[in-house]
Structure 1
Amino acid sequence: MMHSENELNDYNDFEQARVLTVPSDLAGERLDAALAKMLPEFSRNRLSTWIKDGLVFLNGNPAVPKTKLWGGETISVLPQPEADESAFQPEDIELDIIYEDATLLVLNKAPGLVVHPGTGNWTGTVLNGLLHRYPELKTIPRAGIVHRLDKDTSGLMVIARTLMAQNSLVQQLQARTVKRHYMAIAQGLLSNDGKVDAPIGRHPKERIKMAVVYSGKHAVTHYKIREHFTAHTLVECQLETGRTHQIRVHMAHINHPLAADPIYGGKPRIHSPEVSITLGEFARQALHARKLSLIHPETGKTMTWKAPLPEDMDMLVNVLRLDAGMLEEDWDDDWDVDDSDCEVMYVRE
């Protein structure tokens, strides 16, 4: 909806509009590009939406994105909260916050916890819990959530506490400088480390599923073998991209779906009674976001966090080890390479 100059003046009465003067060094820039530089705490997409909705004024008139600037113009912006900023309520939900400062939070998400409200899960989510524990996050889109984990995937997530941090983290994710490592138990015995480079989109027939499809979005997963069991392989997966169900879809695509995956796991296989019972009780895909590395938006320092396998997945790994005849003294859960180039923070056991 377009807004008149009178409405803008009314808006200024409440001191909610952002009024900016275009600096001379931005002369020649398009309005949308200049605005992104003048308001770096907001994403380009969000600013473009406000321009399209008539919430940005150039010298008192509704702005046009491609307008070339001369310098000295007055730009007025009417910031608007996104719909989900006011749609969800705080709830007292237990969250395992393993790191926090004034700029960001790192959460070790429990399996079974939905990250963001949506169809069928409008309450009891990570977002609801964040709003309860950190009320100031109500001013940040999606309460600072910049990436998600599936409901039944456990592990590390980063949350932005400021608009500047959120914009920085989103840009890092887009630039693929955020490093996310997952531990997964795949069905079958993989013979080599590898990479899956296959586009992912909505399954053409089963709409609740994703699939490797020609028209899908670019997706790349790297995987390394960490341990072989009798009929499973423990792998470490690193994401280049962050598509919905990416690891689950890619591993199924190479005929090694994740153990106990209710959607992509395929037909049940024959295992020893001990393994069958443990898999039956596991009741989720065997996937854990174990390691997270990023550049701190405020300090510019590279930081890394690690979280041990949750109890249920640790038990499954140990049952598979015993089933494979591995001796306990040979078990080694230190799967990491050298971390000497960054600050490492370990999650408490």
Structure 2
Amino acid sequence: MDNVSDSEFSSSADELLDTEEGQTRQLEIPEALAGERLDKVLAQLMPEFSRNRIQGWIEAGYVKSHGQILKVRHRSQAGELISVDIQPEPEEMAYLPEDIPLEIVFEDDDLLIINKPAGMVVHPAAGNWQGTLLNALLHHYPKIGEVPRCGIVHRLDKETSGLLMVAKTIEAQLDLVRQLESRRVVRRYFALAWGLVKPQTIDAPIGRDPKDRLKMAIVRGQQGKVAITHIKRLATVELADKSITAIQVQLETGRTHQIRVHLESVGHPLLGDLVYRKRVPAQAAQLEFARGGQALHALVLGILHPRTQETMLWQAPLPPDMTDLVHQLGFSSEVAQVDLESLDV
């Protein structure tokens, strides 16, 4: 059947409980659309929504007639009353507060220091529109929504755990960003890497991988940004005929996936990393690591307080999954400890 103009349905299509997304719309099927498939009918009556989106609502059970869930291939009858529960797009939920527990290491009127668990995304993005640190922050401190990016100054990868700073005011955010840009922020990470890792500094620019836009890579020329990583070897153990090294990593810059890209570039990918690895050692099958991602933890964070300029340092102990892995491999339980008094901000 040819498309019918919206004006022919104005009297029935305007019978709404509420036109806002997240509410229910009541529709009466006009004679002109009787016998058509349900998804086609609704696409005609609600032209502001795509047919694919409407099909998704039908398949999810959000379209009913007299309380009965309808199927996509349902043939509508003239005068039939249809109710549609309008569902927002996932990205439309991105900036809503969610009651998600946060491990707060420090908080005052200017900033928050969070110990982020592995598995939590910091900022909403495709595939992760809800359940993020940003959603949790909006619930914990609603006024943080007035700060750009809800006060988030830097990020940790989804499967990386550890310390992360969040500004509660625009003034604090600007100061912390300046500290990052001037490389005054102290950041120490603990990681487990394949092979015998030697103490070294990796100075190699990082940019978007030209062969895989979902990854980062060592990129020379104008596309690469300066990236400097200092690596300190803490201890090494043997697993069958393969070495595993516990390392402490100091970031001088903070590029996306910097530690993971740099370690892979010198032949020492992180244990558990499912993205940056040339191949997985056979010994990996012997490891029990529940994280489902890289063995990387933001262990130490140091800043000058954005208002008082007081030196502040925090250390977050290894989470249980990494502690278990450290013990499983036979490292000392103190392998990740850092003497904060030896660090300068």
User: Would you say same fold, with TM above 0.5?
Assistant: yes
- Local SS of the residue matching 2:341: coil
Note the alpha carbon deviations across 1:189-209, whole angstroms, 9 max, x for none. Answer: 12x311000000111111111
Match of 2:234 in 1: 226
Task: Please state how far the C-alpha of 1:114 moved relative to its aligned partner.
Answer: 0.2
CA distance in 2 between partners of 1:101 and 1:337 (Å):
25
Residues 251/340 of structure 1: CA separation in 2 closer, same or farther (3 Å cut):
closer
Residues 217/168 of structure 1: CA separation in 2 closer, same or farther (3 Å cut):
same
CA distance in 2 between partners of 1:131 and 1:85 (Å):
15
Note the alpha carbon deviations across 1:87-118, whole angstroms, 9 max, x for none. Answer: 61111111111110111110000000000011
CA distance in 1 between partners of 2:273 and 2:94 (Å):
32
Does residue 287 (structure 1) correspond to residue 289 (structure 2)? The answer is no
Task: Please state how far the C-alpha of 1:122 moved relative to its aligned partner.
Answer: 1.0
Match of 1:141 in 2: 148
CA distance in 1 between partners of 2:208 and 2:343 (Å):
39
Match of 2:338 in 1: 336
| Matched AA of 2:194 | Q
Could you tell me which runs of 5 or more consecutive residues in structure 1 were left unpaired when the two chains were aligned. Answer: 1-83, 344-349
Does residue 243 (structure 1) correspond to residue 216 (structure 2)? The answer is no
Match of 2:42 in 1: none
Task: Please state how far the C-alpha of 1:132 moved relative to its aligned partner.
Answer: 0.5
- Local SS of the residue matching 1:339: helix
Could you tell me which runs of 5 or more consecutive residues in structure 2 were left unpaired when the two chains were aligned. Answer: 1-90
Residues 101/153 of structure 1: CA separation in 2 closer, same or farther (3 Å cut):
same
Match of 1:175 in 2: 182
Note the alpha carbon deviations across 1:201-247, whole angstroms, 9 max, x for none. Answer: 11111111110010310000001001111120000001010000000
Residues 316/86 of structure 1: CA separation in 2 closer, same or farther (3 Å cut):
closer
CA RMSD of aligned residues (A): 2.1
Note the alpha carbon deviations across 1:129-149, whole angstroms, 9 max, x for none. Answer: 000010110111111100000
Note the alpha carbon deviations across 1:272-298, whole angstroms, 9 max, x for none. Answer: xxx634346442101000000000011
Match of 2:217 in 1: 211
Match of 1:116 in 2: 123
1:51-66 superposed matches below 5 A: none
Residues 338/160 of structure 1: CA separation in 2 closer, same or farther (3 Å cut):
closer
Q: TM-score, normalised by structure 1?
A: 0.68
CA distance in 1 between partners of 2:320 and 2:100 (Å):
20
CA distance in 2 between partners of 1:289 and 1:159 (Å):
15
CA distance in 2 between partners of 1:152 and 1:285 (Å):
6
Task: Please state how far the C-alpha of 1:337 moved relative to its aligned partner.
Answer: 3.9
Residues 313/307 of structure 1: CA separation in 2 closer, same or farther (3 Å cut):
same
Q: Is the Cα contact below 8 Å between 1:304 and 1:342 reproduced in 2?
A: no
Does residue 265 (structure 1) correspond to residue 277 (structure 2)? The answer is yes
CA distance in 2 between partners of 1:220 and 1:284 (Å):
23
| Matched AA of 2:207 | G
CA distance in 1 between partners of 2:112 and 2:141 (Å):
10
Match of 2:267 in 1: 255
Residues 177/123 of structure 1: CA separation in 2 closer, same or farther (3 Å cut):
same
Match of 2:132 in 1: 125
Task: Please state how far the C-alpha of 1:86 moved relative to its aligned partner.
Answer: 10
Task: Please state how far the C-alpha of 1:159 moved relative to its aligned partner.
Answer: 0.6
Q: Is the Cα contact below 8 Å between 2:113 and 2:164 reproduced in 1?
A: yes
Task: Please state how far the C-alpha of 1:128 moved relative to its aligned partner.
Answer: 0.5
Task: Please state how far the C-alpha of 1:164 moved relative to its aligned partner.
Answer: 0.7
Q: Is the Cα contact below 8 Å between 1:85 and 1:138 reproduced in 2?
A: no
Task: Please state how far the C-alpha of 1:315 moved relative to its aligned partner.
Answer: 0.7
| Matched AA of 1:209 | K
CA distance in 1 between partners of 2:228 and 2:270 (Å):
17
Counting matched residue pairs gives: 249
Query: In the alignment, which of 188, 194, 200 is matched to residue 200 of structure 2?
Result: 194
Residues 193/146 of structure 1: CA separation in 2 closer, same or farther (3 Å cut):
same
Q: Percent identity?
A: 49
Does residue 311 (structure 1) correspond to residue 320 (structure 2)? The answer is yes
Task: Please state how far the C-alpha of 1:188 moved relative to its aligned partner.
Answer: 0.6
Does residue 296 (structure 1) correspond to residue 293 (structure 2)? The answer is no
- Local SS of the residue matching 2:308: coil
| Matched AA of 1:286 | A
| Matched AA of 2:272 | A
CA distance in 1 between partners of 2:297 and 2:237 (Å):
18
| Matched AA of 1:260 | G
CA distance in 2 between partners of 1:254 and 1:241 (Å):
18
Q: Point out the structure with max Rg over C-alpha.
A: 2
